[in-house]
Every structure is written in C-alpha cells, then in structure tokens.
Structure 1
Amino acid sequence: MRSGADYVRALDDGRCVYVNGDKVSRVADHPAFAGVVATMAAVYDASCAEGSPLVDPGTGRLAIFTCPRTREQHELRRTALEQWSALTHGFIGRGPDHVAGLLAGFSSRPELFDTERHQLGRGVQCYHRYAAERGLWVTNSIVPPQANPNDPTSRVRPVRLVEETAEGIVVDGAQMLGTGAAVADAIFVTSIRPLAPDETDRAVSFVVPISAPGLKLLCRRPYATAGEPFDYPLSTRFDETDAMVVFDRVLVPWSSVFAAGDVTVVNSQFFGTAAHQIGNLQSIIRLTAKLRFVTGVASLIVKANGRDTDPAIKGQLAELATVQTVSEALTHAAHSHAERDEYGVYRPAGKYLYAALGMQTEVYPKAIKLLGELAGGGVIQVPSSVRDFDDPEELAAMDVLMGSDRFPVAERVKLFKLAWDLVGSEFAGRHVQYERFYSGAVATVRAHAHRFYPFADAEALVGDFLASYRA
C-alpha cells in the first residue's frame, strides 16, 4: 500500500511547474503546495492503517479504484469514498478518488475502445490496473482553453493529435484547467464536449505523467501562502491548486492511450461505459461532506453569538441544514438504487445522481451565502494575524472587543477566521466559483438530469387519472 512518504517522494520527478514567475524545483517543499501535499500524504497514510475502510480487502488496493461488479463491492466503494471525503472535508475536488472511478468505468467495457484503426481496450484495462496497484493520483483536464472565435489573430490551440508513431501519439496544444495537477502523479486528458465528426485531431483520450517531457503547468495564484494556518486554516491545508496545461509535442505511450483520432470513442467513453456515473458518485459524496462542514461552522457561529434561541436565526440555520440534508438524501438514493448494467457493473441511479449534480451549481453558493449572513460582521471583527496575540497590550484591547470567560478571545477569533476562509478569502471565492462549474456547464448537467428522469412513468400516472373521468 502506498504511504504518504511514497507519495511525497514521487513528486520529485523533474516536473515542469511554474508559479509566481518561477519554475518550481521541488513541489513538495514549495509554500504554494506543501500544505496540500501534507494533507494528501496523511490520507495515503490513513489507508495504510490496519483494517482501513479506504482499502479493498479482496485486492489490497485502494477501494476508490474498485469496479463494482457485486453489491458488496459497491458498498465497499461508497464507504471508501465517504471516508476519503471526511478526511478532507470535501475540499479536495479532483483528488485521487475522482478519476479512479472514471478509469474503473472505462475498464468495465474495454471493447468500446477497440476500433478498426486502434485496439486500445486491453490497454485501458491494463492502465486501470497499473494505477490501482500503485495508488496513483490521476487528475484530469477535459476542457479546452477559452478563446474568441471572432478573433482572427487568436493563437489558442486546444490539445490535439499531431502524429502517431510506433511508440505512441504526439500531442500539442493546451487545456484550460488541471485542478491538482501540480501535486498529482498523472493527468487524464480528453474532451468532455461532444466532438463533430470532422474533429478527428481533437479526438484524443489518454493519461500522461506530470513529468512527461514537454508538459508544462502554469499555476494560478496560490492561496496557501495567504498567511499562517491560524489565519487561513483551509487555504493552507486544502488549496489543491489549478493549472493551465500546455503540451509542447508531448509523446504519450500507447500503453496509456485510450483514443487517437476516433471521434466515436471520445464521444461515447463516459456514457457508453459506467465511467460518468460511478466517477461522479465521488462528486456528490464529496459535496455532501463539504456542506456538512459548512453547516457545522454555521452552528458554532450562531452559538458563539448567543443567537441559537432566536427563531429567525434558527430558521436560517435550518435552511442551511436542509440544503445539506437534501444533498445527503440524494446521494444515499443514488447509491442505494444502483442497478447492474448490461456489462455487470453497478451504476448509481441516474435519476438521483444527476439531480444532485444539477443542484450542485446552486446549493454550495447558497450555503456560503447563508453562512455569511449568520456570521455577519464577526468575520471582519478579527485581528489581522495570529501574531497580534503576542502583544499583551493589544490582547487587553481585544478583550474589550470580544472577551469572555465562556468563549476566550483566541477561540472566538479562531472560529471566525475559519468562517472567513469559507466566505471571504480568495480560497473561499475560488470554491464558490469551482462548485458552480464542477460538473460542467449548467445546461449540460441539467440535460443529464432530464435524460435520466422517468418522465414516462409520471406521464402514465396523469394519463390514468385523465382516463378515469369523462371529458
């Protein structure tokens, strides 16, 4: 089983990562990444504990990679996903637990990846096994960079196939976003947008190590460096980073190529297999854990202000709790109503899964808005830094502002700074924006929800009722 130390050592592989104008020499030691690396190393260490629910006892591998062909495997995978999200409170969106499900789904129907030009199905299965055996963190980058189609001078090039060789395929261009890529082992690259028949050069699906020659990551501003852990407790632990991904004629070995120039394969890989459904069970489990954490912070804030008996405040808190409960209920329903597909894989029930994903764009921003209203000016009425507690005179002044024997100043500041890192910091803003688009464009997600809802059953109820009386 991979340990935290194994994971940290693997990051020292010569990868090309840029942040704040510098090329990073050792990712694990850099202030922008050290916090999230330590967080994920602790998760890997948790999997090494005897009897860890993160591990499939049948294989000895991380259960997040399990392709659930029995009800027992389905239950085991759900338990592992819940434990994984609990360890990170749902703030690591593209951790190893996400793409692991996609790879398991792809491997459940390898023949889909076999065409007249390429027989890649066996390689899909082999790569899934390879990643599972090593407990790899594979993130993804599946959206092309934004570009203005009306700008004739634009040099934006989405990732594309430029050459096939005996060793593999050569790809060039860029992808918009690789969340967690700087601290992952590898990146899965494809197009989530359906491709037109003539877009064969865009029709690629592959996994490549972050250290691959010619692969560059241009990271956005890090939030982990905002301040001390006391002042930014979430930013310093859970900033998984986002990076723009640039490919400069990168060679991808055939052993990790799933599609090369085959539009039909790329367009059908997610829904023609169980990948999208079992992969996104992680998405809604993670969101449920995150909303539970937000609700806990809100409840403590209300108690700290002595407003827990106020009917109006209790109503707001109940509204937040309802958001979390609905997310949890849909997640439970998606799991419990799972059925085996024609390839023998248990897929979470689409009716509930896509309802949960469809709500995701709205419920997290709503939850953070409610938390902000409950916290009020308390998230601003805090000293600038943990260092302010070192000055006795300043500490005495703070006591006049917020002193209490029941709730000491330091504990109050600690709680409200945590709340600020949820509602007002750069980390907070990024997470609101991230959850809005986590599962793709709103219209696309709602289309999935529409597709999986049994409208015919609902219409039949109405039809029977209409038939029960005369016009």
Structure 2
Amino acid sequence: MQIADAVGAMTGERFRDSLDDGREIWLAGERVGNVAAHPAFRGTVEEFARLYDRQHDPELRDELTYVSDTGNRVSWSYHLPKNEDDLRRKYDNTRSWMRASFGQLGRAPDFMANVAVGLHDFRNELNASREGFGDHAAAYHRWAAENDLALTHALGDPQIDRSASPLDDPDLALRVVKETDNGVVLRGAKQLATLAPFAHEVLVYLNGVSAQRGAEEFVVWFALPMNAPGLRILCREPLSDPGHGHSHPFAGRFDEQDAMLFFDDVEVPWERVFLLGDGLLALKGLSRINAWSNQSTHIRFHERLRTFAAVGSMVAESIGVDGFRGIQEDLGELVSYAETARLAITGAERDGYGTPGGLYAPGDSYGLGYWSAQISSRVAEIVRRIGASGILMQPSEADLASPELRPLLDTYMRGKDIGVAEKSRLFRVAWDLVCDGFGQRQELYEYLHRGDLAAGRIRLYKRYDRSEVENRLRELIAKPL
C-alpha cells in the first residue's frame, strides 16, 4: 500500500472510473459489468460523483479538505483530530456531507473514513496483540486517506440458524481456514455490506462469537478491495427503478444498496490484517474504533430529522392543515426530536477527550444512538398521518404532461397556494421517505445498524455511573425520614 501515486481528494470522474475494476457484482442472477454504467446503479453513482466534486468547489474546498504532509488535498473525514478545533472542523465537514444528501446516506464516505480513524487510534493495542498489526492499521488509514477511498463494512454473520454456534457449524460465520506466508485465507460470508457495489474496499471487524473460547479462527479484522479474487457480491433488489414513469426523487439518488459478501477462499495479505484470534481485544476495540463514526452517524440522523420536519411542514401547508391544532402538535414533536439530537451532538463534541492513541474524540454518545433507533419509526408515522391518502395518489410527470389530463389535475389535484406539479413532486418526496421500498428500507436501517437495541440498552445500563446519586440516597435512607 504505497502512497507515492496517491492524488488526494476524490473527484466525480475518478469515482466513476474506479468502479470499473473487475469486481464481481451480482444482481438478479446476472453478473454486472461496469457498475457506473448499469441502470440500476447509475443514479446513486452520479449522486456520489456530485458529492465528491463538491470537495473541489473553491467555495467549499477548505471546509471539506486540508493539505496533508504529502501536499495532497485530503478529506477532513480522514483527519486525525488532535484537539477541540480539529474535532470541530472535522465535523463541520461531516455536516456538509449530510446536509447535501438530506441525511439519507447512512454510508456516506464520511462514516467509514471515521472508522479508519478509530482503527489508527487503536494501533498500540493491536501491536501489543501481535507485532506489526497496529502498524498495518496506521498504514492502511494513511493509504485510504491519501486516495480518498469509499469504504464499506460487513459485520453480520449469515442468517442461517441463529440458535446454533459456528463452533458446531463453521459455515455460520466467516473464518480463517489457513495462514500462509502471504496472509490469511478466508472462507464464508458476511452481511450486510451497505454501499458494497459503490465502495472501493470493505473493512471487517466484528464476529458474533469473538469472545468464545475455541472461536479464534472466527476472529479477524482486515481490509479487502472489492475486486479481490474470490470475493462475490450479491446485491438486493434495487429501490430506485422509476417503473411506470413515477419519479423517485430520493430513491433515485440515495439507494446506497445492501449486499451479501461471499468469500471463496479469499487471501488477505498480511499488510491488510489488523487483528487475529484475539476475541477479547476485538470486543474491547469495537467501541474505541467507533468513537468518531458514531458522531458522524448522529449528525447524519439529525439531518434526516430536519428533512422529515421540513417535508411534514410543507405537506401540511400544501393541503391547508398546518393550522390544525393536532397537526401542529405532530409537527412540534418532529421538531423536538431534531432539537434533542442537535443538543446531544453538541454535548458530545463539548465532552471531547484525549484518547490513549493520542487523538481527540467526542464524548460517549451510545445512548443517543439507541434513542435514534427507537424514535425513527415514530418520525415516519407522523409524516404518513399528515399526508394521509395524498401520499398514495399523486400524478406522474407523464400525467402532468398529458393535455387531456392536465385540466383535471389543475382543478382537482392542486393544493393550497401550490400548483399540482409542485404538490405532486413534494408528495413523491414524502412517498420515498415513509412509504415505498426505499422508505421502508431506510426505516429498517435506522433500527438495525446501531446493533441490537435491547443489548445496547443493557450495556448502557451496566456502564452508567449511578454511584454519586446512589450514595446520597443511601445517606438519606440510613436515618429515620
């Protein structure tokens, strides 16, 4: 992984070209050639290209990139923050990415770049586990940053039989089948690799049996190019097909895809292996390496909440119900969620601290993540209630262009102080957010991608420091009341 030829911040053109690299992408039983040219993926590719090109806009360049010691312009997403000002500038970059995509891209490149930051921060512990592994992590971060790679991760094991253990059936989890002079050979599968067809590399750093004795063969952290020999990528059904002329303004741009990864005796070079066989260290490292990516997720979710609040308000205004007390209460609930997220994000940044790896991280904010997963479905429910049946029935662009239909549409499908064309497009946005396959996928993503909600709450409870209040209460009840 040499950086001598790296050219820094990604451009849209480089991104499109980089996807035509021989990767083995499968969709609907057929192998896809050039991802950027395939109609099922083209809209998302173009959206990422637009976002990458923003890094070279003279008005945004200093907000989104900085000059590294190589002289390259490098994304702030990969920056290693050393103090409070670094952290502020880093997350100003995150906010720009998330606002430009309405909070719809859970795998905006900023997210996994911040996981790579965490991997670098954990390098000393990785080196202590096995000499050189931490050096691999630091070198990988630098290489990914100087090339501005889009990364994905794949953390879940296949859903075959969750009542069984991989110790009894090794096909239930990705495993190391052998070590060679060149690296480790992997066999098995991983899910759910969001962004897989559009990413340059995948990071794997979690397994469900990591801490079990005898499960060492399943414990491996590594990075792998998406075009690695033996790696097959199976994509789910696309959600952005316009079908019968109905536009999908969000799905057409932000369907970031999800995929199964099949590892058919894939060899990972040693320089791309960061941890091997040490289950306890893997569990310890999971929270450490996600310290920066968690904040990226919170900022993205805040922008998603702002989008819901704005769409809900505009829908209410378009049909003249924005003055109704019940609707105003619902809209106020949406705003309260957005404000709660904003304040919590600000608090996490103000609670920043120095890490053992020499970086500066935002404060612990896992509670915010579990709250976000909990309220996401309620947010969608509110917009559905406000839009009601209008979300289901709106004319297509072809309907609007029909001379025979247009007089009827202008009379019976217009809104309050808004024409039928603008109203129908607004409601199509609402449809994408809360009703069709894209909206349902986004809602499921919010619930699942932070991990098991019940288990997370239990961990939060066990970690929470109640001692100060409990000691005062013990003093209170130690004497007659």
TM-score, normalised to structure 2, is: 0.92
Selected match of 1:220 from 210, 213, 236: 236
Following superposition, the deviation at residue 109 of structure 1 comes to 3.1
Give the distance between the partners of 2:10 and 2:457, measured in 1 at CA.
Answer: 38
Partner of 1:168: 183
Say whether residues 1:378 and 2:386 are aligned partners: no
Give the distance between the partners of 1:238 and 1:184, measured in 2 at CA.
Answer: 14
Mapping of 1:192-271 within 5 angstroms? Answer: 192-193=207-208, 194-227=210-243, 231-271=247-287
Partner of 2:320: 306
Give the distance between the partners of 1:56 and 1:115, measured in 2 at CA.
Answer: 32
Selected match of 1:88 from 76, 96, 101: 101
Where does structure 1 lack aligned partners over 5 or more consecutive residues? none
Following superposition, the deviation at residue 118 of structure 1 comes to 4.8
Following superposition, the deviation at residue 195 of structure 1 comes to 2.8
Mapping of 1:267-306 within 5 angstroms? Answer: 267-271=283-287, 274-306=288-320
Aligned residues of 1:218 and 1:244 also touching (Cα < 8 A): yes
Give the distance between the partners of 1:179 and 1:278, measured in 2 at CA.
Answer: 19
RMSD of aligned Cα (Å):
2.2
Q: Deviations over 1:315-374 (max 9, x none)?
A: 111011111111111111111111223433222221xx1121011211111100001001
Mapping of 1:110-121 within 5 angstroms? Answer: 110-115=123-128, 118-121=131-134
Say whether residues 1:41 and 2:49 are aligned partners: yes
- Name the SS for the 2:357 alignment partner: coil
Say whether residues 1:399 and 2:414 are aligned partners: no
Give the distance between the partners of 1:297 and 1:466, measured in 2 at CA.
Answer: 51
Say whether residues 1:70 and 2:83 are aligned partners: yes
Selected match of 1:336 from 329, 350, 362: 350
Give the distance between the partners of 1:38 and 1:191, measured in 2 at CA.
Answer: 31
Aligned residues of 1:228 and 1:386 also touching (Cα < 8 A): no
- In structure 2, the CA distance between the partners of 1:308 and 1:196, relative to structure 1 (3 Å rule), is same
Give the distance between the partners of 1:427 and 1:47, measured in 2 at CA.
Answer: 27
Partner of 2:150: 137
Following superposition, the deviation at residue 226 of structure 1 comes to 3.6
Partner of 1:5: 13
Aligned residues of 2:236 and 2:258 also touching (Cα < 8 A): yes
Aligned residues of 1:147 and 1:154 also touching (Cα < 8 A): no
- Name the SS for the 1:392 alignment partner: coil
Aligned residues of 1:46 and 1:52 also touching (Cα < 8 A): no
Q: Deviations over 1:12-57 (max 9, x none)?
A: 1000001112100010011121111111111111112233411135
Give the distance between the partners of 2:245 and 2:79, measured in 1 at CA.
Answer: 35
Q: Deviations over 1:358-400 (max 9, x none)?
A: 11211111100001001111112312x3211221111122223
Give the distance between the partners of 2:244 and 2:79, measured in 1 at CA.
Answer: 38
Give the distance between the partners of 1:256 and 1:444, measured in 2 at CA.
Answer: 31
Selected match of 2:445 from 426, 434, 437: 434
Structure 1 letter corresponding to 2:65 = V
Of 69-78 and 282-291, deviating more is: 69-78
Percent identity between the two aligned chains: 28
Partner of 1:54: 64
Say whether residues 1:355 and 2:367 are aligned partners: yes
Partner of 1:180: 195
Structure 2 letter corresponding to 1:408 = G
Q: Deviations over 1:181-209 (max 9, x none)?
A: 11100000132534312111100100100
Following superposition, the deviation at residue 450 of structure 1 comes to 2.5
- In structure 2, the CA distance between the partners of 1:112 and 1:410, relative to structure 1 (3 Å rule), is same
Aligned residues of 2:173 and 2:207 also touching (Cα < 8 A): no
- Name the SS for the 1:171 alignment partner: strand
Aligned residues of 2:207 and 2:219 also touching (Cα < 8 A): no
Give the distance between the partners of 1:154 and 1:109, measured in 2 at CA.
Answer: 32
Aligned residues of 1:56 and 1:76 also touching (Cα < 8 A): no
Q: Deviations over 1:283-323 (max 9, x none)?
A: 11110011111111001011111122211111111011111
Selected match of 1:31 from 29, 39, 46: 39
Give the distance between the partners of 2:420 and 2:133, measured in 1 at CA.
Answer: 61
Give the distance between the partners of 2:130 and 2:118, measured in 1 at CA.
Answer: 23
Give the distance between the partners of 2:245 and 2:429, measured in 1 at CA.
Answer: 10
Following superposition, the deviation at residue 154 of structure 1 comes to 7.8
Partner of 1:387: 398
Of 333-342 and 359-368, deviating more is: 333-342
